[in-house]
């Protein structure tokens, strides 16, 4: 299922923000731009964005981009019709390497979560985990998730456009395996919807079955995948 108007997730936005644009030329005329990863997240031979000049045929120009940049792969969101169309006819191996989710509703869960502002003590215990989880966000808002009067994790949100907020959840190591991640995700997303009228999304950057199940148990549903299309290697 693809949702019209779905925003660019913070992790994908960060990858693109760090990329460098390489003009693709035909007879001295720029016909497209290939945006190459800087090597910090994806390898430097990976295209992470591809823009075609109006009137140009995307499949031909994507083939030119691979040749002129010596790229070995391109990363794209499943809803990117330009790149999906351009890939037709190119012999590339395509595999999913991430996924995007939207929050539908908060399911009944067996634990009650209290979300509150953090204290100095929380920062000492959960601060590093919160910083790691919010690294891709521009303006992260961190709330401490308390269950049974104990701080067990964090819910981190960022308003990534005028309608959508992205959510990331992390559970402190001693409390993992109790279903707390799903409960925190459901509580934090429901709070954004009910109090602020926000649409809520979430993403995973590797196809981790455990994280996917956590989000789905927390009321999120899969929207689409992120893919990497790579040149085929022959022995």
**Do the domain assignments include residue 170?**
yes
Domain for residue 5, yes or no?
A: no
* Residue 121 shares a structural domain with residue 195: yes
Same structural domain, 205 and 141: yes
Residues 113 and 90 in one domain: no
User: Phi and psi (nearest 5°) for 40?
Assistant: -80, -30
C-alpha distance from residue 213 to each of 65, 121, 207 (Å): 37, 31, 11
Q: Is 163 left (phi over 0), alpha (psi -120 to 50) or beta?
A: alpha
Q: How many domains does the chain have?
A: 2
Co-location of 15 and 84 in the same domain = yes
pLDDT per residue, tens digit, the chain (235 aa), is: 345 678 999 999 999 999 999 999 998 899 999 999 999 999 999 999 999 999 999 999 999 999 999 999 999 999 898 899 899 878 899 999 999 999 999 898 888 999 999 988 888 888 888 998 888 999 999 999 999 999 999 999 999 999 999 999 999 999 999 999 999 999 999 999 999 999 999 999 888 899 999 999 999 999 999 999 998 765 4
Q: What is the model's pTM?
A: 0.89
Domain of 138, in residue numbers: 105-218
How far is it, in rounded angstroms, from Cα 129 to Cα 184? 15
Would you state the pLDDT for residue 10?
94
């Amino acid at each position: 299922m693809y949702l019209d108007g779905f925003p660019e997730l913070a992790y994908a936005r960060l990858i693109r923000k760090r990329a460098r644009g390489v003009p693709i030329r035909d007879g001295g005329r720029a016909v497209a731009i290939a945006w190459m990863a800087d090597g910090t997240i994806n390898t430097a031979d990976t295209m992470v964005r591809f823009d075609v000049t109006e009137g140009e045929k995307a499949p031909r120009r994507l083939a030119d981009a691979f040749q002129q940049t010596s790229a070995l792969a391109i990363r794209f969101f499943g809803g990117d019709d330009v790149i999906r169309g351009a890939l037709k006819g190119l012999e590339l191996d395509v595999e999913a390497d991430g996924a995007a989710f939207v929050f539908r509703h908060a399911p009944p869960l067996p634990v009650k979560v209290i979300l509150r502002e953090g204290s100095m003590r929380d920062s000492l215990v959960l601060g590093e985990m919160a910083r790691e989880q919010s690294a891709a966000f521009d303006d992260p808002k961190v709330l401490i998730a308390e269950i049974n009067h104990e701080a067990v994790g964090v819910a981190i949100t960022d308003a990534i456009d005028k309608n959508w907020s992205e959510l990331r959840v992390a559970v402190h190591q001693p409390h993992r395996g109790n279903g707390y991640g799903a409960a925190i995700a459901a509580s934090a997303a429901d709070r954004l919807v009910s109090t602020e009228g926000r649409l809520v999304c979430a993403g995973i950057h590797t196809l981790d079955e455990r994280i996917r199940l956590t989000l789905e148990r927390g009321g999120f549903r899969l929207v689409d995948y992120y893919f990497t299309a790579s040149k085929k290697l022959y022995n």
